[in-house]
Amino acid sequence: MSTPAATALFAELPEVHPNSFAQWRALTGRIVYTMATKGELIVAVLFPLVITVAFYLPLRYVMQVQGIDYAQYVMPIIVLQTMAMTMMSNAQLAAFEALTGLSTRLQTMPIGALVPLMSRICAGMVRSTVSLAATIGYGFMIGFRFTGGLPQALAFCGFALAVGVVLTLGADALGSLTKNPEALSQALTLPILIFGMLSTGFVPEAAFPSWARAFARNQPISQFAQTLSDMAAGQLSWAGSWVSLVWIGGAAVLFLPLAVWASVRRS
């Protein structure tokens, strides 16, 4: 008895049409579900509280003596620190998927080449949105206010999330390339501390030694913090924001191709 031809054997099965959107939805849902069940979203809510208390309480009286409303002043850098948390979480996720072979396995399946990357970035956006909402809530508790109206408040949130996405792209690329979650976390902590502490988001430029002021004033975190501060105060202008846009645009041009290449390459 002859074996039926493969075409006849599977003739009654429906033709498969891979759907990248459905694949993205499934993979993103998997990551978000894991974040919800493993307590990562709870951490995303509690971490901004720790950062707010740690940054606001030690310096509020010193700044008050200098006539600075420190809740209003420090809030942008707190927001940027919470975006950095998302960056580190996505880096660890990408490294874990590469380490365990999941990324390689997905490459052998009929899945869109960019679907795994986009699912990680979108899941990171969920985490960033939760953290940002919590951070703004804690900011209101210590006296932070949006005094520039709803449009600039929305611009504040949009710009913060844009910074988070760009940083996440770079971190995702590093995670996919290194395949080492623990070492990657340690490696990212140092630049976050350096750029955060040596920025004008914590203290005014005049508080730095003269030799460090140029760096503190012009480095990207200081520029991002100033732009966010202007948005919160309703003082957003092209003259005050173009440097931040150049920084974020340049980082996007660098990190996006790197993240795509790191995600689709076959090891």
In a domain, 17, yes or no: no
pTM value is 0.90
pLDDT by position in tens, the chain (length 267): 445 555 566 566 666 667 889 999 999 999 999 999 999 999 999 999 999 999 999 889 889 888 899 999 999 999 999 999 889 999 999 999 999 988 888 888 888 889 999 999 999 999 999 999 999 999 999 999 999 899 999 999 999 999 999 999 999 999 999 888 888 877 888 888 888 889 999 889 988 999 999 999 999 999 999 999 999 999 988 888 999 999 999 999 999 999 999 998 876
CB-CB neighbours of 201 under 10 Å: 27
* H or E stretch covering 3: none
The answer to whether residue 224 sits within a structural domain is: yes
Q: Which of 174, 199, 169 is nearest to 185 (CA)?
A: 174
Query: Which residue in 259, 261, 226, 263 sits closest to 245, CA to CA?
Result: 226
The structure tokens 């499934």 sit at 26
- Does residue 3 lie in a domain region? no
Residue 36 maps to a domain: yes
Tally the domains of the chain. Answer: 1
**Does residue 33 lie within any of the structural domains?**
yes
Q: In this structure, is residue 6 part of a structural domain? A: no
- Domain region containing 188: 27-264
Question: Could you tell me if residue 241 is inside a domain?
Answer: yes
Q: Residue 118 CB: number of other CB atoms within 10 A?
A: 17
Of 140, 102, 127, nearest to 39 by C-alpha is: 127
